[in-house]
């Protein structure tokens, strides 16, 4: 096991092709939103309490009536097959081995049914809504049939943010051949062989199955990037409710006003998120917005936060500022890209260990006891 998440990031950078790592790591435009996300965690100081018996601690939390071992989710990320074959199955197993839910993306490269077959753990579905809403309805029905417990509706991707790194690399799906791409592949033979063994470029298989689309990655990518439903409004949460029986979490909110709208519309939870800094480069960091939003909701909704969690201590900071759990994005992917399924499990184990160390050093016996009184 490597010492920290950043070490897996460095190893992933060496092992992935350049365009694959840039897709994983890059933010929108000049990367300022992503930089704000990472910097915001360092601005929060915590107040330790001395002379507390921390021989036994409880790092768990309850989410929607289910006990979870840690206050974190392995969150939804797309095109994970770029980093390792059967990526979503590996991430789901790693999440469930450590006792936390896994959230499967609409843009996943493994089928809903295959991920369920790989594990009996807690699975949630992340949903993008296309113009043809029958696609979303099909995905919800398939996930319900497979026993997925919660729905995470992403609302900050009416269009894709401008990602300069992808333009510079000529990255699109499928990746067009060029001399630069050939040189990139030759420099990363192990990654290239893994991709060849899985049949080349990963497919957006769930989108394809629910839309009746052929195994054509260019068509699938076009459906994701150009056919999003830009007319989606708060009134449409009632439509989601008609097709989903369990908890509904709205992901991609950054203001008190939108959080209150989500509450009024009947959502069970929200994720304060700027999409990992990949959408609006002028967006604030989610952590900065967390205290105001949590205060406005008065504990009446589940509040999650994402955006740059790299240390177990970050989880403690999020809870102290009002979140019930954090949503992990890039961190487990660094592990997956660096060392495959073992690397993903190691990253989650590092975060667990660091979080437990933080609780003991703070003198916090229960994770759920963390609140604003612990913030310096």
Give the active site residues: 275
Give CA 66 to chain center in angstroms. 20
Pairing of strands 66-68, 61-63: antiparallel
Q: What is the DSSP letter of 228?
A: B
Long-range pairs, 112-115, Cβ under 8 A, ≥24: 112/139, 112/142, 112/143, 112/146, 112/148, 112/206, 113/142, 113/146, 114/86, 114/88, 114/89, 115/88, 115/89, 115/146
Q: Could you count the other beta carbons within 10 Å of the beta carbon of residue 227?
A: 16
Strands 102-104, 325-328: pairing kind: unpaired
Among 175, 154, 286, 173, CA closest to 232: 154
Tokens 């769930």, residue? 206
Q: What token pair was written down for 130?
A: 């296309």
For residue 284, what are the CA distances in angstroms to 88, 144, 156, 242, 263?
A: 29, 34, 14, 33, 21
In terms of Cα–Cα distance, which of 184, 191, 220 is closest to 205?
220
């Amino acid at each position: 096991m490597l010492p920290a998440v950043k070490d897996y990031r460095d190893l992933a950078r060496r092992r992935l092709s350049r365009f694959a790592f840039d897709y994983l790591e890059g933010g929108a435009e000049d990367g300022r939103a992503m930089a704000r996300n990472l910097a915001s965690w360092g601005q929060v100081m915590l107040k330790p309490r001395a002379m507390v018996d921390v021989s036994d601690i409880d790092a768990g939390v309850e989410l929607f009536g289910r006990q979870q071992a840690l206050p974190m989710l392995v969150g939804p990320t797309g095109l994970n097959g770029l980093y390792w074959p059967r990526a979503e199955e590996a991430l789901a197993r790693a999440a469930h081995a450590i006792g936390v839910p896994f959230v499967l993306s609409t843009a996943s490269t493994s089928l809903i049914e295959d991920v369920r077959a790989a594990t009996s753990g807690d699975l949630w579905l992340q949903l993008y809504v296309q113009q043809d809403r029958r696609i979303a309805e099909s995905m919800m029905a398939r996930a319900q049939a497979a026993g997925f417990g919660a729905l995470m509706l992403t609302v900050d991707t009416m269009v894709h943010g401008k990602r300069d790194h992808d333009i510079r690399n000529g990255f699109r799906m499928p990746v067009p051949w060029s001399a630069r791409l050939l040189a990139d592949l030759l420099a990363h033979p192990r990654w290239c062989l893994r991709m060849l063994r899985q049949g080349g470029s990963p497919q957006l298989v769930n989108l394809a199955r629910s839309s009746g689309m052929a195994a054509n990655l260019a068509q699938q990518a076009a459906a994701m990037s150009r056919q999003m439903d830009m007319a989606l409004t708060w009134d449409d949460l009632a439509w989601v409710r008609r097709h989903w029986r369990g908890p509904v979490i709205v992901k991609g909110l950054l203001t008190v006003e939108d959080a209150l709208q989500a509450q009024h519309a009947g959502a069970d939870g929200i994720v304060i998120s700027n999409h990992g800094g990949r959408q609006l480069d002028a967006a604030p960091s989610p952590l900065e917005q967390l205290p105001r939003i949590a205060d406005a909701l008065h504990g009446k909704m589940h509040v999650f936060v994402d955006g740059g969690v790299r240390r177990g201590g970050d989880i403690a900071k999020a809870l102290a500022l009002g979140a019930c759990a954090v949503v992990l994005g890039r961190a487990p992917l660094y592990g997956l890209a660096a060392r495959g399924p073992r690397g993903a499990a190691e990253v989650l184990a590092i975060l667990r260990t660091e979080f437990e160390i933080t609780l003991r050093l703070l003198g916090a016996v229960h994770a759920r006891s963390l609140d604003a009184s612990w913030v310096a």
